[in-house]
Structure 1
Amino acid sequence: MITRGTVPSYSEIELLLKDYGLSERQIKIYLLLLATGPMKLSELSYKAGLYRMQVYNTLKQLIQMGLVEAVLKRPITYIAVSPKKALSLLLEETSERLERAKERQAFLLEQLMSLSKVATVAYPVPKFKIIQGRKQFIKMAKESYRRAKYEVNNINTPSAIIRGIMAGFDEVAEECAKRGVKIRWLTDVSAQNLNEIKKYCEYGEIRFVPLESSIRILIVDGLEIYISSLYDESIALKTEGETTIYIYDLNIASFMNKCFNYLWSLAKPIHP
């Protein structure tokens, strides 16, 4: 049993917490706060046997993770969140980290194979995935934008243009533009999305095309494709009323790019 004011030293607990991605120092500070209750920085430094700056940096990390809260009084006091909340937050972060690793697997494999002298695969390994819900699409699409090296092509509905700005796609588009990545959008224009169109025009080119169905298409570097069927055209960023097919395949992406380029040649330039 841990008594108040003592430093926890349960190696088994520490080992389990490492599986959630915590460092030894983060574990030590969290368990110390959990066992002793609210403490000031100087107290934490003394009881943990660490320099103040080490403890301060670790506290900043734990606060960002949601595992520790700062009570704003003089001096600032720190308190650990409940174990139930902490484990829930850690599990969510671990799950998201695993999902990100899965998303990057095909791309990483391609890069590693290009470096390998004994490569046996001439082309990227095809990959297909069903993405349910808008939140997951936004996360994956942003990762693809950040991986882009040459070109990103989009076909968006008017409301998808608005949602894109709300979700921060203008920021990843700006990052792409700085890297020299070419970005193009095909969309229908409405009075509601003119401001968003002006924003996107700062980082790429937009052309007008009348859309007869609620479909969103994203093609990255002629290799990754997202095709979304939008049954919910609200501007909400979290909704299950949307299904996306993710395709990582050179042949299919090449065909989709040709279709995009054909539509692009027919579309009218937009000069907001």
Structure 2
Amino acid sequence: MWEELLLEAGLNEREVRSILILGSRPKMKASELAKELNTTRLDAYNSLSRLQEMGIVTATADRPMLFSSLRVNEAMEHIIQSRKQQLDRLVGGFEDLSQGITETDASYEKQRRDLDDPRFAVLKERTHIYNRLQKMANESEERLILLLGQFGILHLCRNPDALEAVNTAAVRGVVVQIITHLDGRTLRFFEKLDTSIEVRHSDELDSLGFVQDQSEVIQYLNIEDNPVGRGKEDAALIIESSPFSQAHLHLIDAIWEAAVPLETARARFTENQINDPLRLTIGEGSFLKNVSVALGFDGELPNEDTPFDPDAFFAAGKEVNEARKRLTEGKLSNLKVLGIDLGRMLRQIGNRVGREIAFSLRSIDNDIEFLDEMMDWWEHAGLGMLQYDVDPQFHVIVGLNHPPVSDPDALPMWEMDDGIIEGALSTRFTKDANIVIQRTEGEGTPDNLWHYLIHRHELKAIELVD
């Protein structure tokens, strides 16, 4: 912990280790310290020289010189006091110089921003990135969007000044929206947000960034692997451009519409189930054309006026009415005529059920154990029988108690049943980009209808020759 604090204070790793070594073993020669640091004597002297300038390390007048250091807690306290004095001098100097600044001078920066071409810069370290977010929140007038990924809410809450600025912006009427990728370990941190801030969860979005009004965008370029680290390796690109901000907002708005409200998504971790709304595709193509064909109307109107013929008028109306009556007979095949694909809808429902099953079994690390649990669920639900085999490659064999039938008016429940397997396997195995799941026809018997092949797709470079 002391090491992290000293690194945060601006010392490098070799200087920190020098303090730790000399603080516990004073009066050490530079050559001895270099050996402990596993570095050259020159590097050791460079570190000692800087620490001497800071007043942390002292040396004797002996030949060779013997070096000692303040203890680590004393060194940290010394650095803090030095920085406080430096900050006091800066504040005092700034206040003296600021007395002569007029309102016109103060607005110069805003005028320059309005007139300048688009600009960008790179921010490094999480502290500086969130300091910029704090500034964006303070200056926002209409809208502030935070893309926090999986652990961004943790980073925001660990920066109290930025968090306060975001909450304050929401209180004063700025529309603050947050898109996150929920993680059960960070749920409690969302309670620190102002109640007027709307939070949504998205499985598809895992990037981090911020957007202020239509003027400024911060997009992360790199983020430290350790989510609880100090973000020394974090880097972000800041772009001040109205056209770019507007384009970014259009993309975010599309993601926002498909995202799930926080309270709904929270059930994944509080109730161990997925309560997200299920969006179904009922069909495709022109529904106007489908309805017209079903009603026996080609959609073409005469180009010229014709004399009114009562008999023809009522005959045409009767034909349309008869077609309309046939559509209300309650046959499922009539829905197909209208372009409504029940099979597709039921498969989508099955996919969702499969996703939920895979989600409920996510704590099982072993894939074979996962499949065994899936097979037990399948059989206890009375859907049929699942098996797996490794010849010629690993695959799951799907058998149904209620296999497909050729009756066009039968409800295609087999689509939902098969969709459950498809959804569960896809959710479980396709997290690895190299895993491919392929559905093929089985033997055609009720206990061997389809096979799901699970195999690894290896990308091999192709060598081009002259």
User: With structure 2 as the length reference, what TM-score do the two structures score?
Assistant: 0.34
Is the CA contact (8 Å cut-off) linking 2:221 and 2:234 kept in structure 1?
A: yes
1:188 maps to a residue whose letter is H
Aligned match of 1:90: 86
Structure 1 residue 266 corresponds to structure 2 residue 258: yes
Q: Pairwise mapping of residues 103-252 of structure 1 onto structure 2 (< 5 A)?
A: 108-109=107-108, 111-112=110-111, 123-168=115-160, 169-200=162-193, 202-211=195-204, 213=206, 215-236=207-228, 238-252=230-244
Matched residue of 1:144: which SS?
A: helix
Change (3 A) 1:201 1:230: farther
Change (3 A) 1:205 1:160: same
1:208 maps to a residue whose letter is H
Q: Distance in 1 between matches of 2:114 and 2:109?
A: 10
Q: How many residue pairs get matched?
A: 175
Is the CA contact (8 Å cut-off) linking 1:134 and 1:237 kept in structure 2?
A: no
Matched residue of 1:244: which SS?
A: strand
Is the CA contact (8 Å cut-off) linking 1:110 and 1:124 kept in structure 2?
A: no
Is the CA contact (8 Å cut-off) linking 2:149 and 2:205 kept in structure 1?
A: no
Q: CA offset at residue 152 of structure 1?
A: 0.2
Q: Distance in 2 between matches of 1:172 and 1:127?
A: 24
Change (3 A) 1:227 1:85: same
2:86 maps to a residue whose letter is L
Name which structure has the greater RCO, CA cutoff 8 Å, separation 6+.
1
Q: Distance in 2 between matches of 1:188 and 1:195?
A: 14
Matched residue of 1:128: which SS?
A: strand
Matched residue of 1:232: which SS?
A: coil
Q: CA offset at residue 171 of structure 1?
A: 1.3
Change (3 A) 1:94 1:141: farther
Is the CA contact (8 Å cut-off) linking 2:216 and 2:239 kept in structure 1?
A: yes
1:90 maps to a residue whose letter is Q
1:39-64 CA-partner distances (Å, limit 9, x unpaired)? xxxxxxxxxxxxxxxxxxxxxxxxxx
2:148 maps to a residue whose letter is N
Q: CA offset at residue 241 of structure 1?
A: 1.6
Is the CA contact (8 Å cut-off) linking 2:223 and 2:231 kept in structure 1?
A: no
Is the CA contact (8 Å cut-off) linking 2:181 and 2:205 kept in structure 1?
A: no
Q: Distance in 2 between matches of 1:94 and 1:129?
A: 25
The percentage of aligned residue pairs carrying the same residue is: 13
1:194 maps to a residue whose letter is L
Question: 5+ unaligned residues in a row in structure 2: which ranges?
Answer: 1-76, 95-105, 267-466
Is the CA contact (8 Å cut-off) linking 2:217 and 2:245 kept in structure 1?
A: yes
Change (3 A) 1:85 1:207: closer
Change (3 A) 1:92 1:267: farther
Matched residue of 1:149: which SS?
A: coil
Choose which of 241, 246, 253 in structure 2 pairs with 1:254. 246
Is the CA contact (8 Å cut-off) linking 1:160 and 1:233 kept in structure 2?
A: no
Q: Distance in 2 between matches of 1:92 and 1:218?
A: 32
Change (3 A) 1:187 1:142: same
Q: Distance in 2 between matches of 1:165 and 1:93?
A: 30
1:155-176 CA-partner distances (Å, limit 9, x unpaired)? 1112111111121233112210
Change (3 A) 1:264 1:110: farther
1:216 maps to a residue whose letter is L
Is the CA contact (8 Å cut-off) linking 1:216 and 1:230 kept in structure 2?
A: no
User: With structure 1 as the length reference, what TM-score do the two structures score?
Assistant: 0.55
2:203 maps to a residue whose letter is P
Q: CA offset at residue 146 of structure 1?
A: 0.7
Matched residue of 2:193: which SS?
A: helix
Higher Rg? 2
Q: Distance in 1 between matches of 2:241 and 2:170?
A: 24
Question: 5+ unaligned residues in a row in structure 1: which ranges?
Answer: 1-80, 99-106, 114-120
Q: Distance in 1 between matches of 2:87 and 2:114?
A: 38
Matched residue of 2:132: which SS?
A: helix
Q: Distance in 2 between matches of 1:87 and 1:170?
A: 25
Is the CA contact (8 Å cut-off) linking 2:167 and 2:194 kept in structure 1?
A: no
Change (3 A) 1:87 1:184: closer
